[in-house]
Structure 1
C-alpha cells in the first residue's frame, strides 16, 4: 500500500475511533432461554487499548477489523485454512462513508462499486472472482462454477433470480446481501463444498435452508452429519413482529407432520401482533435434514437492535446492505 493510501486509512481509522468506538459501552442481554437469546444494543469498545485487540466476541461471532473495515468471522469455521468467510458491517466504506454493498439501495451504484473495490483490496479478493447473488425472496438455488464469473461483477452479474449459491470450486467468492434477513452459511469440510442461503421470512417458509442441504447431498454427495452451519446477524425473536397473515403462513407450514413446532416459534406480541423466531425455525428445519444440532451456530446478533453497526431494513427502511462472503481457497 502506498504512503498516501496508508495516510488515508490512518485518518479514517482515527475518526472512526473518536466518532464511534468511544460512543457507548459493550452491553449484552442474557435471556433465560439460551436458544432464543439475542444480543441487544451492543456497542463498540470503551478504550484504545481494547481497540488494538485483534478479536472481540459479539454474540457467538467474532468482530474483527482490517484497516478500517469491521467484519465478523465465525468460530466454527476458524480452524479451516481452506475456507474464507466474513460477514460485513456498515463500517467503514469508501471515502469514510458506510460500507453499503447493496445493489438496490439509496446509495449510488458507483459508490457501491467503490465499496466493493475497497473490500477487494483489503481482503485481497480478485474482482472477477466475485459471484454476486440476485435475491428475489424465493427458494431458487444455483450450483456455481467458473462460467458465472464476470469481468464486471456488479453491473454484469450472471446470477439471476437466486437466493442460494453452492460451489465446490476454489477461489469463487460467493456473495449474498442482507439487512434483517438471515444469512445461512454451509461448509462441508469433507467434500469441500460451501453454500450461502438468503433466508428472509418468505425464504424461511419455503425452507430454503433445508433445500440447500438437500441440494448439497444430491449434487455433491455431502453427508449432512459433516456439514457445519452458521446463522449470521439478522432480525431476532424479540424484534420480528408480524400481523396475523404472516403468522398464519408459519402455522400452516410448520404444523406439518415433520414440522410440528409452530407453538415454539410464534409468541403473542403487542397490539394484536405476533413475534416469530426465525432463527429457531431455521434451526429446526436444518436438524430435520440430518444436520447435527451441535454443528449449528447462531450468531445471536439482532440487526434491528444494533443499527450502530448493522443495517436493518425494518427499522431504518432506506438503508444499506451487508454481505455474507464465502470461498474455498488454497491453503
Structure 2
C-alpha cells in the first residue's frame, strides 16, 4: 500500500521578540483562511532542565510560571488571546467533549478548577475557541470539517489508538453536527514512530484488533529479534480511512518524537521526565 506523506513546514514567529519559537503547520489545513492551527516544538520557551524549553504542561514538576509564559508566547505568536484557549486534563480516557465559548480559558491556568478533567478529545463549531491537547510521544490529531465548520483535537497513545479514539471523535462530529467523514481534513502530527515505539505482545494484539482489515496491520509494525515496534500514526490513518476519511485529506508527519527528542518532547526517550508539546486548532470568527 502506498501512502501520501507530507512533511510539515516550519516557521519562526515573532522573530523580533520570540526568536527561536518554532511552530509547525500542516499544508492541507493551511489552505483554509478560516483556521488557525499549530503544533509546538521544544524550542523557544522559558522552561529549564528536563522541561527545556517550550513546555506547555503544568504536570510533571515544571515551574508553573514558566509554563504560563510559554503559553503566552505561543498565543502571542499565533495572534490569539490566551483566554480563548481550552486545555483539557488528559487521562488516556476515551472521553470526547463538545466545548463552546463558555469553556474558553479552561485549563489555561494552574489553579483552574473548571478544567476539563478526564477529556482526551474536544469538538466545537464555535469560532474563537482554540482546542489544545498536549503530547510527548502520543499521536496528536486535529480535524476540520469545512462544510459544517466543525473542528476537533485529540490525542491517541496506544490505549486510545486501540480504542479508536479518532473514529469515536468523528462519529460524534457526525451525530452532533452532521459531519461526513469524506469532508474531513486531518492533520496527524509529531509523535512516536515505528522506528522506536516498542510494545509487548498483548498491546500488539489490541492494536491489530482495532483495524477492520487485519491485512493493513502488516504495514504497521516491525519485528526486530523478539521485539515488536508499531506505527501508531499509520494505524490511526487506517482507522480514519475505514470510516470514509479520504486518503488525500490526511496529512501525516513522518517525524518520530523519540529519536528526535532534542527537537520534540518524548516521554520514552526521557524515562518519563519531560515536558509536553501542544497541538491546537481554532475557527476564526
TM-score (norm 2): 0.90
Shift of 1:95: 7.5
Is the aligned partner of 1:93 residue 2:48?
no
The offset of 1:102, in angstroms, is 1.3
Looking at structure 2, the residues matched to 166 and 181 of structure 1 have their Cα atoms a distance apart, in angstroms, of: 19
| 1:4-28 Cα deviation digits (max 9, x unpaired) | xxxxxxxxxxxxxxxxxxxxxxxxx
Question: Structure 1: how far apart are the matches of 2:128 and 2:277?
Answer: 21
Using the alignment, how far apart are the partners of 2:276 and 2:235 within structure 1? 23
- Alignment root-mean-square deviation, CA: 2.0
Query: Which digits, 9 at most, give the CA deviation of each residue in 1:295-322, with x for residues without a partner?
Result: 1111111111212211111111211110
The question of whether the paired residues in 1 share the 8 Å contact of 2:106 and 2:116 is answered with no
CA distance in 2: counterparts of 1:103 and 1:269, whole angstroms: 36
1:305 aligned residue: 259
- For residues 152 and 229 of structure 1, what CA distance do their matches in structure 2 show? 24
Tell me which residue corresponds to 1:26.
Answer: none
Q: Secondary structure of 1:324's partner?
A: strand
Distance in 1 between residues matched to 2:149 and 2:256, nearest whole Å: 30
- CA drift of 1:108 comes to 1.6
- Give CA-to-partner distance per residue, 1:43-96, whole Å, 9 cap, x none: xxxxxxxxxxxxxxxx61111101221010110011211100010001111378
Output the CA distance in 1 between the equivalents of 2:107 and 2:169: 27
CA distance in 1, matches of 2:249, 2:269: 31
1:189 corresponding residue in structure 2:
146
Structure with bigger helix share is 1
Task: Work out whether 1:125 is the aligned partner of 2:77.
Answer: no
Counterpart Cα distance in 2 of 1:65 and 1:197: 25
Is residue 2:35 matched to residue 1:80? no
TM-score by length of 1: 0.78
5 Å-filtered alignment, 1:1-331, equals 35=3, 60-66=7-13, 67=15, 68=19, 69-94=21-46, 98-150=53-105, 153-155=108-110, 156=112, 157-254=114-211, 258-260=212-214, 261-270=216-225, 272-317=226-271, 318-330=273-285
Contact 2:47–2:55 under 8 Å retained in 1: no
Q: Deviations over 1:91-128 (max 9, x none)?
A: 11137850000121231222111211222222222122
Query: Which entry has the higher C-alpha Rg, 1 or 2?
Result: 1
C-alpha displacement at 1:280, in angstroms?
1.3
Separation (CA, whole Å) in 2 of partners of 1:95 and 1:206 = 33
Matched residue of 1:209: which SS?
helix
1:253, 1:304 → 2: CA distance? 24
Inter-CA distance 314–137: structure 2 relative to 1 (3 Å threshold): same
Q: Secondary structure at the match of 2:31?
A: coil
Describe the shift of the 1:120–1:253 C-alpha distance in structure 2 as closer, same or farther (beyond 3 A).
closer
User: In the comparison of the two structures, how many residue pairs are matched?
Assistant: 273
Give unpaired runs (5+ residues) of structure 1: 1-32, 38-58
User: What SS is found at the alignment partner of 1:315?
Assistant: coil
Distance verdict in 2 for CA 1:280–1:151, change over 3 Å: closer
Aligned mates of 1:262, 1:194 — CA distance in 2: 28
- The offset of 1:34, in angstroms, is 6.2
